Amino acid sequence: MVLMFQAGDIVQIVSCERDSRLVGKRGYIIDEAPPFNGVWAVHGLPGVLTANSGGFEAHELRKVGHNPSKAPKPRRESRWW
């Protein structure tokens, strides 16, 4: 079973093979499309010793909500005329 997320989904880390200190922390998905390598980009992770974002596999994440304001904004075409 493949878990699908959308940009702006708030997720909680339920397991992390690389760093167990991240378990229980929350962030949000920034990928607009499913990743081809199975690693979802999660941004907004709190912590002093961690980077602000990280890559996690779907089985390491659990969706806890959705915040559309965290989704990347579509680019507008420039109007220079």
9-42 pLDDT, tens digit per residue, is 999 999 988 888 889 999 999 887 888 888 998 8
C-alpha distances out from residue 44 to 1, 11, 36, 39, 50, Å: 26, 10, 22, 16, 11
Tokens 């965290």 correspond to 70
Arithmetic mean of pLDDT, 33-58: 80
Among 1, 56, 71, residue whose Cα is nearest residue 23: 56
The pLDDT value given to residue 62: 94
- Decide the pairing of beta strands 9-13 and 61-66: antiparallel
The pLDDT value given to residue 32: 79
Q: Is the pLDDT of residue 60 over 90?
A: yes
The pLDDT value given to residue 48: 47
Arithmetic mean of pLDDT, 61-69: 88
